[in-house]
Copies of this chain bind each other. A is one copy, B any other.
């Protein structure tokens, strides 16, 4: 079994990460949901309030901080069209080191602009060439590749969210975390299970990208096609776990629930009108699960991680008007 030989992230890895990222990532508050069900009190962990609008800044900051000082001037490389691109660009700027972000040619101009605004070099390539171009840049420059989830330092960085949840709500009973590549869920579950063994950690996926739910049920990684996973509007949840993250999820998650596209849209609207937060669809799946999957989740003091807030204003407007 592959999963038996994988080294899992520890609480110590996560607490060390928290110290490294303290000057770069925001220490987000827990927001009480005064509008929630009194029998299942809800707090939101608003990672959409991070400087780049998503939790990805935490893992990126920890991974960059771990690069030996002698190697930092050679820079970092990432391939992503989403929040991870912004995160690596922002963190590199804060560290004063160069960043090259490889993006597929269908990336919206606004996202390319946002990445350039952080001072990163943007390399536009055909989508099938992303990895190979990134690897070539790494080889040519002696730069360090910062992967979006499949790395212990990235997992430990995302796990700092779990530390903050426990610090602010020591008697937390249920934590809801979005699952895509699984870096966030792996890190958060590591911290929560170490500090609050009785708390339950549930993953949440769009049903249209429910590969991890199927994989956990099967006890092994079941692969869905890229096209299938791309059907969901939750564009941050279209990745799939790696061996490393799946080993964490199998060991640490108490379960996983899936939500429909309609429920995701409605949760975006609820977060805007009741919590005054702009969440992207991927960031709203946990709220959707809280609102629509109560029967599949334990009762008790619940934290929903709102993982990000980057969406097109016209998209948001459409979800508010339905």
Contact = CB atoms under 8 A, between A and B. Distances in A.
A29 B32 contact: no
A246 interface: no
Given A28-B29, A316-B320, A90 B272 contact: no
Interface residues of A, number: 31
Nearest to A32: B51
Interface stretch (A98-106, A123-131, A208-216, A273-281): A273-281
Interface in A262-299: 269, 272-273, 275-279
A51 B34 contact: yes
A198 interface: no
Contact of A32 (B26, B32, B48): B26
A269 B32 contact: no
A171 to B, nearest CB: 16
Interface of A: 26-29, 31-32, 34, 46, 48-49, 51-53, 90, 269, 272-273, 275-279, 309-310, 313-314, 316-318, 320-321
A272 B29 contact: no
A52 B34 CA distance: 7
A61 to B, nearest CB: 13
Contact of A321 (B53, B277, B313): B313
A278 B268 CA distance: 12
A92 to B, nearest CB: 14
In this complex, which of A273, A276, A314 has the most chain B Cβ atoms within 10 angstroms of its Cβ?
A276
A200 to B, nearest CB: 25
Contacts of A279: 276
Given A26-B32, A269-B313, A276 B48 contact: yes
A271 to B, nearest CB: 8
16 contacts: A26-B32, A29-B49, A49-B276, A269-B313, A272-B316, A276-B277, A276-B278, A276-B279, A276-B309, A277-B278, A313-B320, A313-B321, A316-B320, A317-B318, A317-B320, A317-B321
